């Protein structure tokens, strides 16, 4: 039996690796899961009524691109949030953004760029679907460090011009997973200018855009529009998973120029997995409401303040600008995660599981990622135990 080689060098995914690391050890206290970014805040209370009102629509095949009420709700959100007036043809509904971040590469990455194998730029550390998308389309991933030295965002402009000329797609995540850094308008303008100069697309993963400390993060699409950039230059992804605390709904959206969306829709009509219509109605209601988003954000802002107070004396601690992860410095992420589990029962993710070795260096090795998704009283106790275990 012959199998493809293009995925043969993929490391084990982060969470199976974590289970293998911790699985043979007993927790040293009441288990607290802070390893996975699964929001635990309340879902919008009205959604069950919306679902019940549309249960009969489970009997029909759902629209691949999204039902009109959902597209209208998302258009309304882009207008309120960013001042963007998008047409339905600029949008497509996703079965979670991971699907979109992967399939956009299939639909939009050219087979060759300047007669050569295309390159896909990936921040390092990163959300792992970026790398597997590059492998799926036969592109070569270029892992660019996103460390404290670069503001925890990749400095793509520092790459050689001949490398940039070969780039087809550059992934960016803002607010960044795992570091919580936000790409400013100036950063995004520079990146879009770079993409225009070297003719590549920007895939902007903005799933954490509604969880922020002081200032709402800008969207790459918003900045591109203000610059008058090519409408196809930026492809933006967002979802309800973090915004509305509904990761299990699998409701995401991609927005871009009409030709990019047309190509994504065409691929999806053959190989997509559309969201069922009753759930699309639920999603429309969630995108249309901001009260539950503001209430959830206020809870995360309380958690920021709590983490700042408890971890203030930790050397190298930096509270996140946005998102709900702490990116905490340690000597070795795997050793720290195992120590925490064995001594306290707290489950966190080693930073190296989110990064790749480049020239013998893994930028995540000296970190752990801590998800502040549990109730605030549980967070307070867990962070104190974490501090006392690793830093006292």
CA dist list (Å): 309 to 148, 179, 384: 21, 18, 10
pTM for the whole thing? 0.97
Which pLDDT score is estimated for 282? 97
Domains and CATH numbers, the chain: 14-42+292-390 (3.90.1150.10), 47-289 (3.40.640.10)
pLDDT digits 0-9 by tens, 207-219? 999 999 999 999 9
Q: Are 264 and 104 in contact (CB under 8 A)?
A: yes
Q: What is the pLDDT along the chain (392 residues), one digit of tens a residue?
A: 888 888 888 888 999 999 999 999 999 999 999 999 999 998 888 889 999 999 999 999 999 999 999 999 999 999 999 999 999 999 999 999 999 999 999 999 999 999 999 999 999 999 999 999 999 999 999 999 999 999 999 999 999 999 999 999 999 999 999 999 999 999 999 999 999 999 999 999 999 999 999 999 999 999 999 999 999 999 999 999 999 999 999 999 999 999 999 999 999 999 878 999 999 999 999 999 999 999 999 999 999 999 999 999 999 999 999 999 999 999 999 999 999 999 999 999 999 999 999 999 999 999 999 999 999 999 999 999 999 999 98
Give the number of other Cβ atoms within 10 Å of residue 98's Cβ.
Answer: 21
Ramachandran class of 69: left when φ > 0, alpha when ψ lies in -120 to 50, beta otherwise: alpha
Residues 333 and 368 sit within 8 Å (Cβ to Cβ): yes
pLDDT of residue 273: 85
- Residue 39, classified by CB atoms within 10 Å of its CB into exposed (0-12), middle (13-18) or buried (19+), is buried
Judge contact between 134 and 5, C-beta under 8 A. Answer: no
Residue whose C-alpha is closest to residue 140's, from 125, 123, 119, 159: 119
């Amino acid at each position: 039996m012959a199998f493809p080689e293009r995925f043969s060098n993929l490391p084990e995914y982060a969470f199976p690796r974590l289970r293998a690391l911790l699985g043979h050890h007993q927790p040293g206290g009441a288990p607290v899961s802070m390893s996975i970014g699964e929001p635990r805040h309340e879902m919008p209370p009205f959604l069950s009524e919306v679902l019940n009102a549309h249960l009969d629509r489970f009997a029909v095949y759902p629209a691949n691109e999204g039902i009109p009420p959902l597209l209208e709700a998302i258009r309304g959100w882009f207008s309120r949030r960013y001042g963007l007036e998008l047409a339905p043809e600029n949008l497509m509904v996703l079965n979670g953004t991971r699907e979109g971040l992967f399939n956009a590469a299939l639909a939009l990455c050219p087979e060759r760029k300047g007669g050569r194998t295309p390159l896909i730029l990936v921040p390092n550390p990163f959300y792992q679907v970026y790398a597997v998308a590059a492998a799926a389309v036969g592109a070569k991933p270029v892992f660019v460090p996103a460390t404290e030295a670069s503001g925890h965002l990749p400095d793509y402009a520092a790459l050689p011009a001949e490398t940039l000329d070969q780039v087809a797609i550059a992934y960016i995540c803002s607010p960044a997973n795992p570091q919580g850094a936000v790409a400013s308008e100036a950063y995004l303008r520079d990146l879009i200018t770079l993409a225009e100069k070297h003719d590549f697309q920007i895939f902007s993963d903005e799933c954490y855009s509604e969880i922020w400390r002081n200032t709402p993060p800008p969207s790459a699409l918003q900045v591109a529009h203000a610059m008058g950039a090519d409408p196809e230059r930026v492809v933006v992804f967002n979802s309800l998973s973090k915004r509305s605390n509904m990761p299990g709904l699998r409701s995401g959206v991609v927005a871009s120029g009409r030709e990019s969306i047309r190509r994504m829709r065409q691929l999806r009509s053959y190989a997509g997995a559309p969201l069922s219509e009753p759930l699309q109605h639920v999603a429309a209601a969630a995108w249309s409401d901001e009260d539950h988003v503001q209430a959830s954000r206020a809870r995360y802002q309380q958690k920021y303040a709590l983490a700042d107070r408890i971890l203030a004396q930790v050397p190298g601690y930096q509270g996140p600008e946005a998102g709900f992860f702490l990116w905490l410095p340690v000597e070795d992420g795997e050793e720290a995660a195992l120590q925490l589990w064995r001594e306290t029962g707290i489950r966190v993710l080693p930073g190296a599981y989110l990064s790749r070795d480049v020239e013998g260096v893994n930028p995540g090795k000296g970190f752990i990622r801590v998800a502040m998704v549990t109730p605030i009283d549980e967070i307070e106790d867990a962070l104190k135990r974490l501090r006392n275990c690793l830093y006292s």
